[in-house]
């Protein structure tokens, strides 16, 4: 089985706009790209990872609420800075953490989503996954004009929504892929059971040490390699722009 390979740049161009950098100078991200994955329905291995992640989170918080962790407090401050109410639209790590600590536990989605959700919960760090074959051009983190289309679903139907002006969004050449930084992923680029090539994006705010971000990325890459032994896994450098 090959080992994950470290690369200086992700195959897919990723950039952070000056406006976002000014809004949150403590932001950093790391990309893990994977080629030749085998996805499918949730399985026992993924379920075990999610259960272990919930236990690791509980030890980390030691009785505190997720929003009281310094890293989550920094994300809340960033959301407030672009006009979003962090208690209503939580960053993805805080939302998953609350579910992990609740009686119902974490949802099971599919093998790949379960895997990156487990890393997110264990490290209390926003992690997202995108289907590389569905991304158009590079990915950019910007403050939206409000005209960018966002493909989502409502009431069982496919719909197009638009972000608020000034909202922080990830987008590609076709439109928004994730609203309010990492609050809600779009349907167009999400990982499905048919996905083969993927981009996993890990996002950090100061005061989380950059070494902790790197450790989470390494854990994700190694878990992907174990789950998909024939895949090619690449770990990028930590980036702030």
pLDDT tens per residue across span 172-182: 999 999 999 99
Between 3 and 55, the more confident residue is 55
Dihedral Cα 76, 115, 175, 13, nearest 10 deg:
100
C-alpha dihedral (81, 85, 87, 89), degrees to nearest 10: -100
Whether the per-residue pLDDT at 11 is higher than 80: the answer is no
Q: Are 117 and 189 in contact (CB under 8 A)?
A: no
Q: Please name the residues in contact with 155: beta carbons below 8 A apart, sequence gap of 6 or more.
A: none
Residue 47 DSSP one-character state:
H
- Which one is predicted more confidently, 7 or 31? 31
pTM to 2 decimal places: 0.96
pLDDT at residue 8 is higher than 80: no
Q: Look at residue 199 and tell me whether its pLDDT is greater than 80.
A: yes
For 127-158, how does the pLDDT look when each residue is reduced to its tens digit (9 = 90+)?
A: 999 999 999 999 999 999 999 999 999 988 99
Q: What angle do CA 208, 216, 4 make, to 5 degrees?
A: 145
Residues 227-237 have a mean pLDDT of 96
**Does the pLDDT value for residue 21 go beyond 90?**
yes
C-alpha closest to that of 181 among 219, 128, 217, 222? 128
Burial 192-208 (b: 16+ CB within 10 A, else e): eeebbbbbbbbbbbeeb
Per-residue pLDDT tens digits for 87-131: 999 999 999 999 999 989 999 999 999 999 999 999 999 999 999
pLDDT-based confidence at 3, cuts 50/70/90?
confident
Query: What residues does 32 pair with on adjacent strands?
Result: 200, 235
The radius of gyration of the chain's CA atoms, rounded to the nearest angstrom, is 17
């Amino acid at each position: 089985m090959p080992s994950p390979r470290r690369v200086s740049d992700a195959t897919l161009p990723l950039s952070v706009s000056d406006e976002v950098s000014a809004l949150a100078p403590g932001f950093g991200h790391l990309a893990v790209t994977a080629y030749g994955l085998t996805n499918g329905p949730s399985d026992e291995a993924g379920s075990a990872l999610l259960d272990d992640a919930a236990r690791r989170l509980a030890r980390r918080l030691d009785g505190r609420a997720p929003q009281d962790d310094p890293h989550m407090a920094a994300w809340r401050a960033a959301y407030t800075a672009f006009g979003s109410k962090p208690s209503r639209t939580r960053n993805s790590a805080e939302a998953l953490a609350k579910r992990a600590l609740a009686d119902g536990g974490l949802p099971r989605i599919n093998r790949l989503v379960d895997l990156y959700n487990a890393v997110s919960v264990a490290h209390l760090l926003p992690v997202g996954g995108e289907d590389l074959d569905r991304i158009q051009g590079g990915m950019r983190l910007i403050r939206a004009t409000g005209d960018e289309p966002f493909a989502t679903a409502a009431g069982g139907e496919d719909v197009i929504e638009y972000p608020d002006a000034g909202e922080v969004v990830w987008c590609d050449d076709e439109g928004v892929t994730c609203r309010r930084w990492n609050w809600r992923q779009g349907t167009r680029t999400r990982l499905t059971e048919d996905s083969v090539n993927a981009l996993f994006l890990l996002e950090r705010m100061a005061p989380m040490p950059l070494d902790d971000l790197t450790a989470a990325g390494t854990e994700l890459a190694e878990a992907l390699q174990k789950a998909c032994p024939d895949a090619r896994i690449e770990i990028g450098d930590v980036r702030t722009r």
